[in-house]
Amino acid sequence: MSEHSLHSSLVELLGPAHVLTGTDAAGYLADQHGRLVGQARCVVRPASTEQVAGVVRLARRYGFPIVPQGGNTGLVGGATPDATGAAVVLSTRRLDRIRQVDAQDNTVIAEAGCTLAEVQAAAEQADRLFPLSLGSEGSCTIGGNLSTNAGGTQVLHYGNTRALALGLEVVTADGEVWNGLAGLRKDNTGYALKDLFIGAEGTLGIVTAATLKLFPRPSSQTTAFLSFGSIAAVVDFFERSRARLGPALTAFELISGPIYALVARHVPEIALPLPAAEDQWYALLEVSGFDDEEQDQVRLAALIEPAIESREVRDAVIADSPSKTRSLWRLRHEGLGLAQRRDGANIKHDIGLPVSRIAEFLASNARRLQAHTPGLRPMIFGHLGDGNLHYNLSHAPGQSLAELFAQEDALHGITYDSVHRHGGTISAEHGIGQIKRAILPDYKDAVAIKLMQKVKSALDPQGIFNPGKVL
């Protein structure tokens, strides 16, 4: 293959401003933390589904692989090319149109390069809600959310991205376009093709647009922040909250004492709702509905006050204004990440467990980690309602970051083995990418791996899409 011929063909298709090489391409070649840096023949930026299909047809002709990339906010290297330089990175950022908002059907059709915040805003303009909510919503894209089946803070009520997607438009490995955007709630005419592409991390096709579910906007929203003496108390209170509040309970977020104390130490610009104590646990919960906020506050108070009297809940704050609600969510979405970055890099785990096994997992894994590295600091937060924990490991006092990361494989092994023993998963919402690809067979059913390989071979027999990821 002539590099000149390839470059000329791409320029003819997309225009010279949208075929990037050299320093212009550098920002697309590393993951957001700079730990993974790859190489590529070039970076292409198509502006339409037809142009994406054209790039795929050129990939078939010239024999190069494609690495799709959205907002590049992923945490497992799924959108980063490898070091061979054989691939072309395809950025979806110019696929950024909201094609349609239908308030009657409660749907929005958004192109893959739209940021999550743009989709949320389009829904709001139609007096509707798109409930997916992530800390990176200002920069992550809908295509990326679909490719990893993103979860976020409101999975408890609305489900993850797969549950929010009604249809897709996808460019296949043949360079054809599957238009599955109808957005029907019921369509029992064969295989659920869209579900193959959601969560596939760009390894089966390139999603260019999606029809997404919208919901009526809640007329009331009440948020509370609570402290507990133990993780068991948090889990018990969550179960009682779910039973008492039902679908009105739209979020229940867990924050451990050490990471909350880290916010107090490193992020003074964020006011803490309760005093920080490393031996406590904290929960941020949200009730949404169609009653007035005073009634929601009364319902929450009726749930919380007896728990305070029994000392199950140590302390609580119920937000009594929109600004206080925003402050609580700012703590969750911004404060925890800022505190960890300012404290130094850490080893990250995105794990999922049955809620009933979380307390046991946390206790047993802490013992194993301390036996291996005394003083290691687990920094734990996540979406308790669906069992998804972000289980990050920070360096022990006096330990350098280099010493911490020299033990990364061993610490991953301890944690993932424990997750597996407790019936959990090594990836709840971030995906597999390239970081977890080698260990996936250790924790995934062997028959499931074979079936995934067959799907990959059937839909992408030439291995065009995102090689070296997932499988």
Residue where a domain stops, chosen among 216, 244, 270 = 216
Q: Are residue 142 and residue 175 in the same domain, yes or no?
A: yes
Helix (H) / strand (E) element for 382: namely strand 377-383
**CATH number for the domain including 197?**
3.30.465.10
Residue where a domain stops, chosen among 421, 438, 454 = 421
* Overall size of the chain counted in residues: 471
Q: Are residue 270 and residue 294 in the same domain, yes or no?
A: yes
Q: Are residue 87 and residue 30 in the same domain, yes or no?
A: yes
Look at residue 446 and tell me if it is in a domain: no
**CATH number for the domain including 35?**
3.30.43.10
The neighbour count for residue 443, using CB atoms within 10 Å, is 15
Cα 178–chain centre separation: 25
Look at residue 46 and tell me if it is in a domain: yes
Q: Are residue 335 and residue 244 in the same domain, yes or no?
A: yes
Q: Are residue 224 and residue 372 in the same domain, yes or no?
A: yes
Q: Are residue 264 and residue 305 in the same domain, yes or no?
A: yes
Contacts of 247 (CB under 8 A, 6+ apart): 157
421: left (phi over 0), alpha (psi -120 to 50) or beta: alpha
Q: Are residue 80 and residue 201 in the same domain, yes or no?
A: no
Look at residue 467 and tell me if it is in a domain: no
**CATH number for the domain including 291?**
3.30.70.2190
Q: Are residue 76 and residue 133 in the same domain, yes or no?
A: no
Q: Are 372 and 411 in contact (CB under 8 A)?
A: yes
pLDDT for 299 equals 84
Instruction: Return the amino acid letter for 237.
Output: F
Q: Are residue 266 and residue 338 in the same domain, yes or no?
A: yes
Q: Are residue 140 and residue 288 in the same domain, yes or no?
A: no
Q: Residue 93 and residue 112: Cα distance in Å, rounded?
A: 8
Look at residue 466 and tell me if it is in a domain: no
Look at residue 117 and tell me if it is in a domain: yes
Q: Are residue 106 and residue 194 in the same domain, yes or no?
A: yes
Q: Which domain holds residue 337?
A: 220-421
Pairing of the two strands 107-111 and 206-213: antiparallel
Residue where a domain stops, chosen among 216, 240, 256 = 216
Look at residue 190 and tell me if it is in a domain: yes
pLDDT for 453 equals 97
Q: Are residue 80 and residue 131 in the same domain, yes or no?
A: no
Residue 269 burial by Cβ neighbours in a 10 Å radius (0-12, 13-18, 19+):
exposed
Look at residue 84 and tell me if it is in a domain: yes
Q: Residue 180 and residue 281: Cα distance in Å, rounded?
A: 45
Phi, psi (rounded to 5 degrees) for 105: -85, -5
Look at residue 443 and tell me if it is in a domain: no
Q: Residue 218 and residue 272: Cα distance in Å, rounded?
A: 26
Q: Residue 378 and residue 346: Cα distance in Å, rounded?
A: 9
Domain count, the chain: 3
pLDDT for 2 equals 66
Q: Residue 75 and residue 65: Cα distance in Å, rounded?
A: 21
Per-residue pLDDT of the chain (471 residues), as tens digits, is: 567 789 999 999 999 999 999 999 999 999 988 889 999 999 999 999 999 999 999 999 999 999 999 999 998 999 999 999 999 999 999 999 999 999 999 999 999 999 999 999 999 999 999 999 988 899 999 999 999 999 988 998 899 999 999 999 999 999 999 999 999 999 999 999 999 999 999 999 999 999 999 999 988 889 999 999 999 999 999 999 999 999 899 999 999 999 999 999 999 999 999 999 999 999 999 998 767 777 778 888 899 999 999 999 999 999 988 899 999 999 999 999 999 999 998 999 999 999 999 999 999 999 999 999 999 999 999 999 999 999 999 999 989 999 999 999 999 999 999 999 999 999 999 999 999 999 999 999 999 999 999 999 999 999 999 999 999
Burial 348-370 (b: 16+ CB within 10 A, else e): bbbbbbeeebbbbbbeebeeebe
Pairing of the two strands 177-180 and 42-44: unpaired
Q: Are 205 and 172 in contact (CB under 8 A)?
A: yes
